[in-house]
Structure 1
Amino acid sequence: MKKLYIHIGLSKTGSSAIQSWLSLNVEKLSKQGVDYADLNPSAKDGKITAGNGVLLFHACNSENWEEAERLILSVYFKKNKKAIISSETLQNISPLAIKMVNDICQKNNISVNVIAYARSVYELLYSNYLQGVKRHGFTFRFGEREGMGYKPQRRFLENYNKVFENELTVLNYDSCKADIYDSFAQLLGIKANKFVVKNKKVNRSLTFIESEVLRKMNELHKGVFSTEISDYLINLSPEQSTAVFYDDELLEKTKKHATKDLKWINDNLIHNNDFIKLENSKEQTINEQTKEVNETKVLQDVVRWAMDKEENNKVQEFCDFLCKLAAFLNEDYLESAILIMEKAKKLNPEDNHIMSLLTMFQNKKSNPAICNETAVIAVIKDESAYIHEWVHHYHHFGFNHIYLAVNRTSDRTIEVLDKICSKYQSVKYFITDWIDKDSDESGINPNMQRLSYSFLANEVFKNKNVTHCLSLDADEFFYPKCFKKNINDFIGSFPENEMLSIHWACQGVDSEEFLPPFANNEYYIRPQVKTVISRSAFEKIKKFTVHIPLLCEKNGLHIDASGLPFVEGKHREISQINFSSNQKGFILHRMIRSDLEYLALLLRKRPASTLRLKNNRNGIFVKPGLLKLDIPKETLNVYYESLNAFISTCSLREILNEERSEIKGRAKQILNVSDEEILENIETYYTVLNGTSAFPLLHSRMRTLGDRLLKMERPVDRLRDLAIHMERFDLNVSLDLMRIALIGRPKGLIIKRKIISYESKLKQGS
């Protein structure tokens, strides 16, 4: 009777090394009565292959059982009564395919032993993540997006166990990896002491620093060159020691999601008490690595790859990557950035964008931006509970002058600013209520904000030492990605320019009330920007608009925080959507904070409006796929210690506590308004309160109004359109609104179709 060994992995358990070992020793295996069809001879050289079982995988995947039988009988078996099939792809064939392989073998009098190695959960997940960085262009950090469970491993093994039962052998990779070949030889029943072993590691993992650099490179080239670059780095140092990145929070997450499936595997498939662990605490950790190469070395190697690469097929993609890589290298590796751009020019000499970038980097080398002193300006209203955080932040990052315009304020903002100004001479404020003396029929000047910014900028540039100015709102916090560089050094790291636009990093919803800046580390990037203007740009301003001032003439350089030229999007004051991800700094936009603070914020009104609520907000909802700020805890602790010292120096603790109590009270007043006010502005109320704790109260109140809703101006159209707007948030709300619209328009076809659709979807969902 013949014997077939089917090695299915599992993933990241030395399969490539085993396949290299098998390929190197085909003749020695044959002499001991074992066939190994060497279908991938490059494995002898340590090259990564899918193993010789990939042909069987394709036959099974296409349900070509005749081909599967031919492969087993004529390809995998040659002259011996034992044969080996090895490929990790086989772990994921269907239950039907597993049964058919067994049936084919039984029909041909072949017994089967399935071999699988399993490793500790956390280390497997980390290794899989590194493989994603190497091969699949991952740009996120470990644990940010992928699940932290063991379900796939259980599913693979459970599928095979249902068919092969006792003929499935599962070994603990962590116990065997010191001599994986010996453990495999024992399963085959052969002596392998004289077998050839490849000296270099096969498919080694990335070091922590390599993974960090490569995921940043993946952001630049969108995964197009991830395999090429990672292979290049690994081949430069194939024996480089690597380690696992351990994080207590991720370990707990792994324990929560993987324990049940891990227990099933250990209880049902491990028969020698060598159980698979949740995590292997004896593993070398990142902190213990003594041979870990630094980021500079890895970046230099990436540059070497780029300079050595001969590109014929993907010239445009490669040139695009070179441009982004040069911008990434920019300030710290300017010589390398110039070399990279010179190569891009050789590949595509007619590209004007490449030429302009090369010129920009060359100019930067000979003519860097000169930044003497930088000012930040803001126009504020009712910020007594928060303005101390904003002022401290810009003092912390080295802004030389902090100017504020206060208008229409009813809280204790002036009192707070007086305390701050008495301690910090760099801070000044101006009351600009005088602008309302030139008001419209509503009694306010709708240009209050823009005129206040113009006034502040003019005041700032009266100081001849000021070379740059950044205009922001009080909920916007500029920060360099390193979170250390002061603003003058940051501006000086770019080539001479007239305007430097910095993108928003919009913060998610705070889990607690009154959190300090950056405590909530989740954010998403937007094409909106705020702009640092130079003195020369200020002198050319035609109209001071908040995001990007309008200049009389554009003859100076306008860049974003990647150092690349700023490209306008759908209108002048936002960038194109696909801007470079390699920004050196962002503006954290705290537009929501917590639910309670958001509700209180809505009652501040907009500068150009008499409406009771701020109508430029879209409610609160959890945005999927949020990014995470990468600020070291030690650096953030220094920042918070500085903030606490600032509060103490200015004697603000008592007033802040009182103002926070005021905010809590204000939030409760959000719906303390007449029905008529809500009916007149129903779209605004539904939009800005969507997702908040006040929304159920609002909707319940509207439902009780009944016929009064139909007495609004254009009631049916407005209710119908509002229902459609709410579809992506809450179908029950949409159904309620559409049913009221139907009362006002009983024959409305669109309304009827929508109601049927909502009812059907809600029924399916239940």
Structure 2
Amino acid sequence: MPIKTKVKIVAIAKDEAAYFADWVFHHLYFGFDAIDIYLNRTSDNSKDVLEKITTHHPNVNFQYADWLDTCPDAVGKFLQYCVYAKAFAEEKAKSEYTHILFIDIDEMWTPQDFKSSIHDCLAKQPKHSSISFQWANLLGEEQQFASIPHSLRIIKSSTVKSIVSLSTDVEKIQLHLPEFVRNNNFQGCFLSDGSPFEHAAKNYQQLARGNQIELKPYFILHRMYRSEIEYISLLYRGRPSDNIPLKFNRGGYLRSARTMRELTFPHSPHNKYETDKQAFIRKLNLSREQRHAQAYVLKRAQKAISIIPSLIEQYESEIKNAFSGVNNKNVQRAISGAPIKKSPVSWLKGIKNTVKQG
């Protein structure tokens, strides 16, 4: 008789309240049994949104990870590793779940047929220590705070996220694929179609020829760009203690690319997903909280733009790289040294309609 699988997702979030409802619904819809969210350095209304979600869904929980900020700086830099290692050890000791998946809020485990569950995926590979899912990077989107479209443009990546069997012994937690103890509990590392994980020559956690292999039946939809204004917002760090208030680890905003491909989900499953998602949000009565969360994102974008003039002389190349592909006129004016116009109120208009439309 097959072993019944139970899968928990663990995520760390900072100021991502605008995306919680969609993200939580998505993973519950596709069969994940529980979700733990660790909040860190949060200043938006994450608590308000998550309290409403957890009231209706007791298998979703959240807690704060700010205690890590009391550790020496050398430890704080490895926040994700610390939280993931803690979660893995706790879940392994409890033996309540069979598997654990560490992902971010901009990452969504997704089946190509848009109806299969995580348990369907696991049932096809009864023996494994890990199953890795390739990133499909979703290119820039026109609509702010958009739902997953029926048809989308993606770029395949060598980067993966991995679901890990809790019966396996881990030597070292890593963000994309742990290093395993090669004892009798080790059952091998695979991709979601059952093929062996072929490691890149210089990076154990990455796929060899990742951008060349066929997209597997299950993958991680990585929403790293979203709409242009959301991308601008994500570049702002927002902490007074940060030496540089902008993030320079992004390579610009992409709407298209030579290596992109179009992915279309089947109509019927996608329509059902959208109908069920709207019912999920209505039941939670989250419209007010989502409007506040989305307004926070848009106001943060204004802050990102307003800080450019004070940094452009020292960090010109980094700023131009991070904001490459961005057409926003105020961004272009700030980079060129021209005065920035007053914050466009139009950014905040239509949030109510966006929430209603999903």
**Correspondent of 1:524 among 155, 168, 175:** 155
Report how far residue 636 of structure 1 moved: 0.9
Aligned to 2:252: 619
**Correspondent of 1:553 among 157, 182, 186:** 182
Q: Pairwise CA RMSD of aligned residues?
A: 2.5
Aligned to 1:544: 173
Q: What one-letter code is carried by the residue in structure 2 that aligns with 1:574?
A: Q
SS, match of residue 109 in structure 2:
strand
**Correspondent of 2:209 among 570, 577, 598:** 577
**Correspondent of 1:566 among 197, 219, 225:** 197
**Correspondent of 1:446 among 77, 81, 84:** 77
Report how far residue 663 of structure 1 moved: 1.9
Q: Deviations over 1:323-374 (max 9, x none)?
A: xxxxxxxxxxxxxxxxxxxxxxxxxxxxxxxxxxxxxxxxxxxx97x45201
**Residues 519, 457 of structure 1: alpha-carbon distance in 2 compared, 3 angstrom cutoff:** farther
Bigger proportion of residues as helix: 1
Contact 2:141/2:227 (8 A) holds in 1: yes
Aligned to 1:498: 129
SS, match of residue 527 in structure 1:
strand
What does residue range 354-503 of structure 1 map to in structure 2 within 5 Å? Answer: 370-440=3-73, 445-503=76-134
Bigger proportion of residues as strand: 2
**Residues 634, 674 of structure 1: alpha-carbon distance in 2 compared, 3 angstrom cutoff:** closer
**Residues 674, 385 of structure 1: alpha-carbon distance in 2 compared, 3 angstrom cutoff:** closer
Aligned to 1:77: none
**Residues 647, 604 of structure 1: alpha-carbon distance in 2 compared, 3 angstrom cutoff:** farther
Report how far residue 468 of structure 1 moved: 0.8
> In structure 2, how many angstroms separate the alpha carbons of the residues matched to 1:656 and 1:577?
40
What does residue range 584-623 of structure 1 map to in structure 2 within 5 Å? Answer: 584-604=217-237, 611-621=244-254, 622-623=256-257
SS, match of residue 274 in structure 2:
helix
Q: Deviations over 1:455-511 (max 9, x none)?
A: 233343344231111110100011122211111121111241001111001101101
**Residues 602, 396 of structure 1: alpha-carbon distance in 2 compared, 3 angstrom cutoff:** same
SS, match of residue 115 in structure 2:
coil
Report how far residue 677 of structure 1 moved: 2.9
Contact 2:309/2:335 (8 A) holds in 1: no
Q: What one-letter code is carried by the residue in structure 1 that aligns with 2:216?
A: Q
**Residues 609, 634 of structure 1: alpha-carbon distance in 2 compared, 3 angstrom cutoff:** farther
> In structure 2, how many angstroms separate the alpha carbons of the residues matched to 1:414 and 1:580?
40
Report how far residue 610 of structure 1 moved: 5.2
> In structure 1, how many angstroms separate the alpha carbons of the residues matched to 2:30 and 2:141?
23
> In structure 2, how many angstroms separate the alpha carbons of the residues matched to 1:393 and 1:379?
17
> In structure 2, how many angstroms separate the alpha carbons of the residues matched to 1:462 and 1:390?
27
SS, match of residue 502 in structure 1:
strand
> In structure 2, how many angstroms separate the alpha carbons of the residues matched to 1:589 and 1:614?
18
Corresponding residue pairs, total: 331
1:670 paired to 2:309: no
Long gaps (5+) in structure 2: 340-358
SS, match of residue 638 in structure 1:
helix
Which structure has more RCO (C-alpha within 8 Å, separation ≥ 6)? 2
**Correspondent of 1:700 among 327, 330, 336:** 336
Report how far residue 609 of structure 1 moved: 7.0
**Residues 408, 371 of structure 1: alpha-carbon distance in 2 compared, 3 angstrom cutoff:** same
SS, match of residue 679 in structure 1:
coil
1:637 paired to 2:271: yes
> In structure 2, how many angstroms separate the alpha carbons of the residues matched to 1:520 and 1:476?
17
Contact 1:478/1:588 (8 A) holds in 2: yes
Contact 2:135/2:158 (8 A) holds in 1: yes
> In structure 2, how many angstroms separate the alpha carbons of the residues matched to 1:419 and 1:612?
31
TM-score by length of 2: 0.85
Long gaps (5+) in structure 1: 1-366, 704-766
**Residues 560, 609 of structure 1: alpha-carbon distance in 2 compared, 3 angstrom cutoff:** farther
1:648 paired to 2:279: no
Contact 2:12/2:80 (8 A) holds in 1: yes
**Residues 480, 699 of structure 1: alpha-carbon distance in 2 compared, 3 angstrom cutoff:** same
